[in-house]
């Protein structure tokens, strides 16, 4: 070989057409068609190098458009300079075109000097000089000079010389190996589809561990449009030469839908064994593959059953085999018994910009004057290659005004090609999983995972397994205990709901757009199709709800009216006094600043799981107490006018009660044991005089009772069998004494040391701090008595601002500021 190879690839190289061919052969037919060229072509084909060769004998005077297209779609050009190459004007035109493609696309050119002196080609001497003498009689001077310049340039590129590399078979083998090396380097760096792919290739090659003889199966996992297919193709191209048998099945699901899974199985076996496999020979073919070292790539496998039928397991392939499977579904890869799984994540901003620019501007950076619009597109695509390519192709060559129009459209509707690809993951879900996904995409993105699971379970869904499936299918993920969904997938989910009824929002299952909700509720346009409404109240003007709006939505299971700054008591939603009932199907009723004194009389809340009405105008929930057998969470915090709540025994499954800041509330009680209660917040209930309920909340590991600033509390009962009373909580600066009862299987009143106290005995609060008995300390978890304790408690001025915490660690201690802050963060703002 003459020196080292040379290629031109400037940073600003323009990319027009994705390469289709690995190699383009340029040769003089009468010199080499039936000898050297045919041998070289055969050697390239044996290595599965996609090669374009023009076999036509009569080529005419001009290069055809088809041939020009083939040149533009080739990655490497091999120019075979033979004795009569320069005598063909066709060959010289082809050479000029090749060199232009080299400059334009940064492609490789490999000259092969077959039985000619490279110096004669470079300087047009010998037979090349004789050829130009004839050309000068037929063509203009500028054409002649173009051809001479092309020969000079091409001959200056290092290449192969048949006079120095012998025999001819060695020359062919050397050229083929040279091309394989160049393709290996250029496939990832020169092809515009490969932006940012090198790091993925390196990581997957590391997982493949090509040296050991054991069979390895590697999975590639990621959301739709993230680049798994491109990775599969690239890996096949890079690894093919290391395996005598290889097959790459792209878009396996489409192949299965088109021809069936048996046909696909026979297809890849035929490629691995390099022969047609009939049904009769299928079993023997499988056995033969078990003895072969193969590279098999299956792209886009959809189900676990497909993977079982197509590959079975490690034992179906010979030692050293490598199987690569790509899927959107992690569970498919687990069932494939993948040794390792590589996750394909979104592209970084720099690669996103380059990829989009290559499609939108046919160069690696944006055109001047488009930077602001490009930034908006990148924000929309969020690093998904499919979106970058589709939008780049759509916007290529268009004016700024057209770009702005498309971006405006994307705010309302997704691009259909992107939507269709992403929706394939949704189509693979069952009915309940689809409901869970649509609820999350439309309503719960960014919410805490546990809260969403509780709500979905309350709606009758199997949320835990459902969300695991959505994670496996790359539809959702979690970050710091919150639900994360890619913006394009969110938009896909919302578009699915819009398509339920394009022109009538009231006939869709979920409503989240504030303008659409405004129209539906104001004009009574809801129907039995509506299941969920989530209204950001701060986004709307005054909304006077039609009296029959909610009655027309009998299947409504979730109703959320949220204010950005609740507590200003300036609600934008006005309910008529004669509003007809809410849906009896409601499982979540979450309404900030509810504007009425009580809930509608004919509302039957038996299905409610959560009732959340912060900063409401409620005075009571109902005129007559209602049974709420499914209610788990009640939050009426800061409802200043709330005077009474029902007997909590009506809520037998209640787990959390938050009534903090209900300044008018006088009594909280239950006539029966609340076995599931774990959180009770009554902080700031200034008028509360009596807390009387039987529960084991204080003996739960997660139990917490807050009575911060309940300054009029006189009766306090919250244990399993007996009563604890307190007096003096209104006397903030007086000595505070408690009568404490804690009995385990006995009756009567005892002090902290077990002495019988009788009916009127009291214990100094100091005894709680210093002499907590072991029996009590093993049961009590959290009790907040902030501001129920006098300054004489000895907390150095902190008694009125910090928490007293009773631990199951046999002691009570005062909090330092840092500890109080930590505690406040752990339980949220509900304590204040």
- CA-to-CA distance for 473 and 327, rounded, in angstroms? 8
Phi first, then psi: give them for residue 3, nearest 5 degrees: 65, -160
Cβ burial 260-292 (10 Å sphere, 16+ → b, else e) = eeeebbbbbbbbbbeeebeeebeeebeebbeeb
Element of type H or E holding 421: helix 416-427
Burial class (CB in 10 A: 0-12, 13-18, 19+), 17: middle
Contact residues for 329 (Cβ-Cβ < 8 A; gap 6+): 221, 302, 303, 428, 472, 473, 474
User: Tokens standing for 805?
Assistant: 């915490």
Triad 583, 587, 593: Cα angle to 5°: 75
Stated length of the chain: 832
Any bridge partners for residue 539, and if so which?
Answer: none
765 neighbors 739 (Cβ within 8 angstroms): no
Tokens 């787990």, residue located: 655
Per annotation, catalytic residue among 30, 72, 73, 94: 94
3-state secondary structure of 475: coil
- CA-to-CA distance for 217 and 324, rounded, in angstroms? 6
3-state secondary structure of 341: strand
Tokens 């009425």, residue located: 596
- CA-to-CA distance for 761 and 723, rounded, in angstroms? 14
- CA-to-CA distance for 688 and 643, rounded, in angstroms? 10
Tokens 């009995």, residue located: 743
- CA-to-CA distance for 87 and 93, rounded, in angstroms? 11
Beta strands in 27-115 (DSSP E): 51-52, 74-81, 108-113
Q: How many whole angstroms from its chain centre is CA 759?
A: 63
- Short-list 558, 555, 559, 552, CA closest to 579: 552
User: Tokens standing for 57?
Assistant: 């004998």
Tokens 């037929």, residue located: 138
656 is catalytic: no
Longest Cα separation, the chain: 131
Any bridge partners for residue 76, and if so which?
Answer: 23, 108
Triad 519, 521, 523: Cα angle to 5°: 60
User: Tokens standing for 149?
Assistant: 């310049």
Any bridge partners for residue 327, and if so which?
Answer: 221
Tokens 């041939």, residue located: 67
Cβ burial 111-138 (10 Å sphere, 16+ → b, else e) = bbbbebbbebbbebeebbeebbeebeee
- CA-to-CA distance for 832 and 825, rounded, in angstroms? 12
644 neighbors 621 (Cβ within 8 angstroms): no
Contact residues for 183 (Cβ-Cβ < 8 A; gap 6+): 22, 49, 75, 76, 237
Burial class (CB in 10 A: 0-12, 13-18, 19+), 332: buried
Handedness of CA 502, 507, 510, 515 (dihedral sign): positive
Within 13 Å, how many C-alpha atoms sit on residue 257's CB side? 8
Within 13 Å, how many C-alpha atoms sit on residue 785's CB side? 27
Q: Which residues are designated catalytic?
A: 94
């Amino acid at each position: 070989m003459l020196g080292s190879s040379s290629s031109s690839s400037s940073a600003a190289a323009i990319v027009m057409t994705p390469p289709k061919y690995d190699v383009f052969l340029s040769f003089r037919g009468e010199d080499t068609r039936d000898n050297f060229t045919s041998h070289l072509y055969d050697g390239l084909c044996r290595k599965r190098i996609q090669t374009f060769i023009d076999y036509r004998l009569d080529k005419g005077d001009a290069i055809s458009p088809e041939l020009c297209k083939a040149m533009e779609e080739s990655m490497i050009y091999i120019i075979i300079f033979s004795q009569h190459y320069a005598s063909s004007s066709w060959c010289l035109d082809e050479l000029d075109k090749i060199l232009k493609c080299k400059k334009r696309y940064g492609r490789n050119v490999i000259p092969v000097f077959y039985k000619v002196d490279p110096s004669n080609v470079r300087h047009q001497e010998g037979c090349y000089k004789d050829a130009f003498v004839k050309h000068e009689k037929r063509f203009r001077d500028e054409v002649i000079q173009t051809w001479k310049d092309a020969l000079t340039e091409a001959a200056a590129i290092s290449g192969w010389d048949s006079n120095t590399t012998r025999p001819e078979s060695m020359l062919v083998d050397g050229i083929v190996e040279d091309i394989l090396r160049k393709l290996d380097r250029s496939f990832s760096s020169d092809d515009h589809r490969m932006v940012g792919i090198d790091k993925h290739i390196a990581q997957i090659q590391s997982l493949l561990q090509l040296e050991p003889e054991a069979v390895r199966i590697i999975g590639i996992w990621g959301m739709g449009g993230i680049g798994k297919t491109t990775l599969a193709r690239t890996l096949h191209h890079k690894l093919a030469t290391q395996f005598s048998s290889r097959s790459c099945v792209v878009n396996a699901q489409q192949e299965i839908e088109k021809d069936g899974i048996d046909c696909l199985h026979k297809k890849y076996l035929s490629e691995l064994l390099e022969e047609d496999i009939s049904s009769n020979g299928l079993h023997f073919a499988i056995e033969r593959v078990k003895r072969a070292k193969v590279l098999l790539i299956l792209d886009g496998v959809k189900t676990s059953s497909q993977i079982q039928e197509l590959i079975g397991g490690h034992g179906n392939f010979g030692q050293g085999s490598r199987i690569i499977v790509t899927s959107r579904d992690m569970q498919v890869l687990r069932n494939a018994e993948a040794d390792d799984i590589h996750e394909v994540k979104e592209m970084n901003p720099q690669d996103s910009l380059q990829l989009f620019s290559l499609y939108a501007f046919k160069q690696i950076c944006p055109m001047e004057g488009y930077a602001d619009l490009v930034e908006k597109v990148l924000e929309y695509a969020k690093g998904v290659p499919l979106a970058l390519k589709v939008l780049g192709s759509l916007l290529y060559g268009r004016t700024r005004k057209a770009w702005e129009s498309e971006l405006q459209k994307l705010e309302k509707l997704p691009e259909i090609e992107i939507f269709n690809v992403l929706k394939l993951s949704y189509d693979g879900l069952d009915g309940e999983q689809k409901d869970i996904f649509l609820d999350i995409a439309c309503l719960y993105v960014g919410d805490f995972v546990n809260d969403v699971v509780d709500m979905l379970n309350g709606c009758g869904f199997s949320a835990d397994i459902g969300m695991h499936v959505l994670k496996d299918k790359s539809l959702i993920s979690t970050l710091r205990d919150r639900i994360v969904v890619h913006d394009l997938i969110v938009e896909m989910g919302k578009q699915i709901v819009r398509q339920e009824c394009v022109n009538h929002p009231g006939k869709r299952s979920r409503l989240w757009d504030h303008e659409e909700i405004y129209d539906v509720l104001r004009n009574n346009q809801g129907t039995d199709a509506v299941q969920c409404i989530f209204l950001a109240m701060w986004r709307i003007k005054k909304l006077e709800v039609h009296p029959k709006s909610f009655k027309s939505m009998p299947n409504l299971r979730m109703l959320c009216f949220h204010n950005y700054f609740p507590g200003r008591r300036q609600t934008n939603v006005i309910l008529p006094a004669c509003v007809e009932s809410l849906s009896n199907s409601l499982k979540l009723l979450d309404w900030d600043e509810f504007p009425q004194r009580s809930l509608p009389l004919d509302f039957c809340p038996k299905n409610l799981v959560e009732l959340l009405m912060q900063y409401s105008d409620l005075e009571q929930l109902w005129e007559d107490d209602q049974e709420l057998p499914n209610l788990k969470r009640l939050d009426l915090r800061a409802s200043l006018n709330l005077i009474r709540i029902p007997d909590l025994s009506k809520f037998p499954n209640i787990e959390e009660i938050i009534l903090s800041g209900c300044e008018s509330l006088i009594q909280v009680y239950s006539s029966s044991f609340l076995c599931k209660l774990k959180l009770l917040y009554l902080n700031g209930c200034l008028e509360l005089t009596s807390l009387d309920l039987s529960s084991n909340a204080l003996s739960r590991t997660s139990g917490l009772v807050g009575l911060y600033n309940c300054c009029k509390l006189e009766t306090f009962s919250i244990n399993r069998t007996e009563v604890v009373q307190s007096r003096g909580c209104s006397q903030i600066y007086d000595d505070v004494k408690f009568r404490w009862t804690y009995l385990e299987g006995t009756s009567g009143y005892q002090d902290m040391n077990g002495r019988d106290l009788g009916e009127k005995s009291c214990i100094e609060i100091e005894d709680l701090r210093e002499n907590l008995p072991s029996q009590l300390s093993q049961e009590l978890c959290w009790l907040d008595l902030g501001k129920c304790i006098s300054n004489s408690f000895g907390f150095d001025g902190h008694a009125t601002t910090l928490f007293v915490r009773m631990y199951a660690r046999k002691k009570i201690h005062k909090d330092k500021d840092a500890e109080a802050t930590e505690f406040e963060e752990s339980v949220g703002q509900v304590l204040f």
